[in-house]
A and B are shown apart, each in its own frame.
Chain A
């Protein structure tokens, strides 16, 4: 197979970028999208040109680093997968494919298709720790958690932090990411002690990083490689409202010894 690629090239964070055309020939239908780019880069190297920088690591859909917007859709045309799991047989032979980086103020471009997603890490950091006793492992089944609740929490926890939700959202909002992270702990007893503090701090951090607000268009769910449900966004909104009420009640009687540290 052969393809015409239209790739965003940008030398560095403060350089102007532009689209450059590349021909990818001798592509096998079984190649993943990243392998196809590897082949293009190989030729560029041989020709003495600068290869296209793109981020990748596990190549099995679990690390979330392969962040490419392919023909306007983060992780490409298939649902529920990352770019590294997208195969070239998915495209018609001879197709012209446009490849752009994640675009958001909170994700500055480092080089070509590589963006800095550490804003998501800082939101996680703001969420902070959960209180657990250290020492020997806890006996199994000491903490009983209903099957439904455990499953729902696991669904939220499957977020790999790739940032496709931000890339797809017209407002570059990180709500689905934050919703997944807040929900998976809010649903479990382990997350209970810091429940209010966590959601307030994470929303505050999210705003600080310059993400937009949620317009409830649900483009995020459609591109999420883990198909995380937007119902978690409602959960996040609810948790945040609850936190506002609980914290304002607590701060008015802050001498209470059992008050959550705020």
Chain B
């Protein structure tokens, strides 16, 4: 085991953990988006879904603490790698042309920072209810927390819409490189599948972000009320 442990301390091992934690977060983000799409089914669906999640406190808190741990590891390793990488080229080129790198891949640190700020804001806003909606304590007709009402209230505010859309832009950029990149980092390659792997990043990014943006805009434009 000590061998395996020392393997994970190398640059390649660190990237592998970055990729594994990243993929964990990606899976969460996908299910988060799918769950929230229930806003289109009306208050009953969303509120009882939220109540269903909160009805299992052990599971809920295990998931929350697990996710938080994964996110912290991801961010700490990302910072560690970025600093190391900066040290690897002390003197920059005066001219540096990219030939192939996507814009998303060049802005991973920036999109990561946007995501970090957004996640903190989002948790304070809709999870903890510390920022924003006075409606956080609302109870619906069935006695559930009125998550639906809270959302409607939140996204009628143009400022909130702007903040959330900015978070989605960060997510789109980060995911579109991250998903394909993690496939490579985890050692998967095959002549027949490489195009699929390459397309995976932008596709996952597009689906997740479209789903989330649909919710935000549908409420803001009054399509969902």
A residues contacting B by CB (< 8 A) are 19, 69, 71-73, 98, 100, 103-106, 168, 170-173, 200, 203-204, 206-207, 210-219, 221-223, 230-231, 233-241, 243-245, 247-248, 251-252, 262
Residue B133 CB within 8 A of the other chain: no
Shortest beta-carbon distance from A195 to chain B in Å? 15
A168 to chain B, nearest CB (A): 8
Taking the closest CB of chain A, its distance from the CB of B26, in whole angstroms, is 15
Q: A196's closest neighbor in chain B, by CB? A: B3
Query: Between A and B, how many residue pairs show CB distances below 8 Å?
Result: 147
A219 touches B99 (CB 8 A): yes
Complex interface bits, B1-22 against A, C-beta within 8 A gives 1, otherwise 0: 1111001101111111000000
Total interface residues on B, CB under 8 Å, equals 47
Chain A residues within 8 Å of B88, by CB: 104-106, 171-173, 210-212
Q: A203-B11, A231-B189 are in contact. Are A216 and B180 (CB under 8 A)?
A: yes
Q: Does B27 contact A (CB under 8 A)?
A: no
Instruction: Decide: A217 near B10, CB < 8 A? Known: A100-B94, A171-B88, A251-B2.
Output: no
CB–CB A69/B93 < 8 A: yes
**Cα distance, A239 to B187, chains bound together (Å):** 8
Chain B residues lying within 8 Å of A233, measured Cβ to Cβ, are 184
Residues of A within 8 A of B188 (CB): 234, 238
A71 to chain B, nearest CB (A): 6
Q: Is there an interface contact between A252 and B1, defined as CB atoms closer than 8 Å? A: yes
Report the Cα distance A72→B10, complex, angstroms. 30
Shortest Cβ distance from A70 into B: residue: B95
Question: A220 CB to closest chain B CB, in angstroms?
Answer: 9
B94 touches A235 (CB 8 A): no
CB proximity of B78 to chain A, nearest CB, Å: 11
Cβ B105 vs Cβ A215 within 8 A:
yes
A126 to B47, CA, bound (A): 60
- B interface list, Cβ under 8 A from A: 1-4, 7-8, 10-16, 81, 84-85, 87-102, 105-106, 108, 177, 180-181, 183-189, 191, 194
Give 8 nearest A-B pairs by CB, closest first: A238-B187, A212-B88, A244-B7, A234-B189, A72-B95, A217-B101, A171-B85, A72-B97
Q: Is the CB of A237 within 8 A of B185?
A: yes
Least Cβ distance of B74 to chain A in Å? 15
Contact across chains for A104 and B100 when beta carbons are under 8 A apart:
no
Q: Decide if A213 touches B99 in the complex (CB within 8 Å).
A: no
A234, B15: Cα distance in complex, Å? 12
Q: Are A212 and B84 in contact (CB under 8 A)?
A: yes
Q: Roughly how many angstroms separate A100 CA and B92 CA in the complex, as a whole number? A: 10
CA distance A217 to B106 in the complex (A): 8
Residue of A217, A218, A243 with highest tally of chain B CB at under 10 A:
A217
Q: Would you call B12 and A203 a contact (CB within 8 A)?
A: yes
In the complex, A114 Cα to B101 Cα: how many Å? 27
Question: Which residues of B sit under 8 angstroms from A235, Cβ to Cβ?
Answer: 187, 189
CB-CB < 8 A to A230: which residues of B?
184
A250 to B15, CA, bound (A): 24
